[in-house]
Amino acid sequence: MMKKSDLPISILYLDDEEHNLISFRAAFRKHFEIYTTTSAREAVDLLRTHQIPIVITDQRMPEMMGVQFLEAIIPEFPDTIRMILTGFSDVEAIIKAINTGRVYRYITKPWVESELLMTLQGAAEMVRLQHQNKRLIEELQQRVQDQERVMKLFQKYVPEHVVTEVLGQDEDSSILKGELRIVSVLLCDIRDFTARAAELEPRKVVAFLNDYFSLMTDCVKAHNGTVNKFIGDGILAIFGAPVSYLHNQENAVLCALDMVEKIHQFNERHRMELGGNLKIGIGINTGEVVVGNIGTEERVEYTVIGDTVNMASRIERLTKGHDNAVFISSSTYQRVSDIVQARVCGPFSVPGKEEAIELYEVMGRKQT
């Protein structure tokens, strides 16, 4: 099968003298696909019905000057290579048209076949290059679109700031790096969701969780946090990594209060289907952690590790028996005591800690 690039280039020649058209066809039909006409209107019809990248017109015609015709077709056929046949008396006007982009090149009359053939072959090569460049641009645009789709998908699994950081590193730089940071770690879990999910169809369970995670993720983003991972029906969020803000502890606690508010909205939508209200428990702890990309060169996961995370998990488990409760550690409360109402809870015995700890249950934001 012949490729499109192997097909002869089409040329349209407009001239009000039929004998000129006959001579042109006879001279160049072996090299090009030739269309000829004595009418400007018919020329436009031919351009609309055929792929004709090169247009040649005589300058002196009764309907309009050749320059006028070439100028008139620019809006509809901007990529067409436009050439004009002219006598020496019109050269100055033609050069002006060339300078303004209306005409690509002019050919003086009477034309010499060998010289005109070289000019047409040069124009045909330009057409091929235009087609090649257009194809390359389309391929480049498609690759950019593909990369953008991959990036958006990637950012659903890895925080956007992490993606940006990795892309900004040198090729030889290892992405398996960790750093010490002081962050607030938030863990949120649905109470008794496993038992409730067992009574539902699997697809409904997924739909409910997706809606729930969407609401909670919006809360985290709104308060400058990062959802690090989903653990079953639980959420682990970080405030202070990979990007830190001045009020990481406040952001975490206000996020938790927002989550409690959003679970009420969720229940309003799904109470009938779920057969009751979902309840959550949230634990927040603040302290030093190691954050970074953990794994191998083939597969990495941005995560946070350390005793601060473990303690946040234990605090969250202590909220069981308390509906939609937010428990925070002393290290967190010290930074938010002026903006939230809280009551002391405990003391609690926590695995791994010799002494019992006191926690604070956040009741709401202080009225200003």
Same domain? For 97 and 186 the reply is no
pLDDT at position 39 is: 92
Same domain? For 221 and 359 the reply is yes
Residue at 48 is within a domain: yes
pLDDT tens digits for 40-75? 999 999 999 999 999 999 988 888 888 889 989 999
pLDDT tens digits for 210-251? 889 999 999 998 898 988 888 888 999 999 988 888 899 999
Same domain? For 14 and 96 the reply is yes
pTM of the model: 0.60
Beta-bridged to residue 360, according to DSSP, are 328, 344
Report the CATH number that the domain containing residue 279 is assigned in CATH: 3.30.70.1230
Contacts of 110 by beta carbon, 8 Å cutoff, 6+ apart? none
**Residue that the structure tokens 């302290």 belong to:** 287
Residue 354 has pLDDT above 60, yes or no: yes
Domain count for the chain, please give it: 2
Same domain? For 342 and 226 the reply is yes
Across the chain, mean pLDDT equals 84
Residue at 161 is within a domain: no
Residue at 311 is within a domain: yes
Structure tokens at 230: 């989903």
Instruction: State whether residue 325 is helix, strand or coil.
Output: strand
Residue at 211 is within a domain: yes
Which sign does the torsion angle of CA 54, 59, 61, 64 carry? positive
pLDDT band at 11 (very low <50, low <70, confident <90, very high): very high
Residue at 152 is within a domain: no
Q: Residues 312-316: what's their mean pLDDT?
A: 92
* Domain containing residue 116: 4-136
350 contacts 368 by C-beta, under 8 angstroms:
no
Residue at 293 is within a domain: yes
pLDDT at position 103 is: 83
pLDDT at position 2 is: 38
Same domain? For 126 and 180 the reply is no
Same domain? For 127 and 255 the reply is no
Same domain? For 322 and 194 the reply is yes
Report the CATH number that the domain containing residue 48 is assigned in CATH: 3.40.50.2300
| Cα distances (angstroms) measured from residue 325 to each of 90, 220, 241, 286, 368 | 89, 17, 25, 18, 23
Residues across the chain: 368
222 contacts 157 by C-beta, under 8 angstroms:
no
C-alpha to C-alpha distance for 368 and 134, rounded to whole angstroms: 62
Residue at 95 is within a domain: yes
Q: Residues 1-11: what's their mean pLDDT?
A: 65
Same domain? For 116 and 200 the reply is no
Same domain? For 39 and 123 the reply is yes
Same domain? For 202 and 298 the reply is yes
84 contacts 56 by C-beta, under 8 angstroms:
yes
Same domain? For 233 and 336 the reply is yes
Residue at 159 is within a domain: no
Same domain? For 197 and 311 the reply is yes
